Amino acid sequence: MKITIDGKACEAEKGEFILQIARRNNIYIPTLCHSDALPGLASCRLCIVKVIDRGRAKIVTSCIFPVSKEVEVVTNDDEIKRMRKNIVMLLKVRCPENKEVDELAKVFGVEEKRVKRFKLDPEENCVLCGLCAKACKELGTGAISTVNRGMYKEVATPYHEPSPECIGCASCANVCPTNAIKVVDKDGERKIWGKKFKMVKCDLCGEYFATEEHVKYAYDRLGVEKPEKLMCSSCKKKVTAKDIKSIFENA
């Protein structure tokens, strides 16, 4: 089927999300909490678009809105721009000092004075999109989740205790759109979600490259003993290159 996005006719399959279709057709819809790897959450609401079906328009979040009939989509008219600006203003109120949110605020022209009306917490970086918890669940670890409701909602480990499930892989930090999750690697130790991890040293260069728990998790998944000597990715490459060199020398 065909849908029209900003006047451009786009091929679409029934059930595809509007955001997906737009991206494929090089039409830009801003997002914050969207990740290609994890299912849409529609939490940041930046991806709102207007769907016009037989003359009636409604605003939907494009990341989770599946197309079912040949509709017209408007991604960037004045109404949507205004709404997005308000959304970013509210995000900015929650995370006043966050770099990523600040960048958005600049692009959408959020006025400082409208943000300043509220009591601000400069320490807050989390926009509560929940991508981190989704990623952790996908991994099968499930060490973190969103807890409480309303204004007390937050992402945390159970009872704010260091989670025994957490392997310190930092996938949560990778998917976090606002870099709100702190990972501190120092002196062969990683600190994340209130838990300390011992890190594994590369047998060749001595660099710490992963937590012991993560390495165990990886080899457990494979069902083999972990090798005696563990190497970081770049040393493995070097050794591989050397091995190939010696193969060609022998030939």
**Interface ranges with other proteins (CB under 8 A):** 23, 26-28, 30, 32, 35-38, 100, 103-104, 107, 135, 138-140, 169-171, 174-179, 210, 214-215, 217-219, 221-224, 227, 230-231, 233-248, 250-251
Q: What whole-number distance in Å separates Cα of residue 156 and Cα of residue 122?
A: 19
Q: Which two tokens stand for residue 40?
A: 């849409």
Q: Which of 169, 194, 176 is nearest to 131 (CA)?
A: 176
247: amino acid identity, one letter:
I
Sign of the dihedral through C-alpha 225, 228, 230, 236: negative
Closer CB to other proteins, 63 or 170, in the complex: 170
Yes or no: say if 33 and 129 are a contact pair by the CB < 8 Å rule. Answer: yes
Q: Cβ of residue 152: shortest distance to other proteins, in angstroms?
A: 26
Q: Cβ of residue 201: shortest distance to other proteins, in angstroms?
A: 13
Sign of the dihedral through C-alpha 55, 56, 60, 65: negative
Strand partners, 198: 189
Query: Which distant-in-sequence residues (6+ apart) come within 8 Å of 137 by Cβ?
Result: 145
Q: Cβ of residue 167: shortest distance to other proteins, in angstroms?
A: 9
Closer CB to other proteins, 130 or 177, in the complex: 177
The count of residues in the chain is: 251
Q: Cβ of residue 55: shortest distance to other proteins, in angstroms?
A: 29
Closer CB to other proteins, 157 or 171, in the complex: 171
Closer CB to other proteins, 153 or 236, in the complex: 236
Q: Cβ of residue 192: shortest distance to other proteins, in angstroms?
A: 13
Closer CB to other proteins, 72 or 100, in the complex: 100
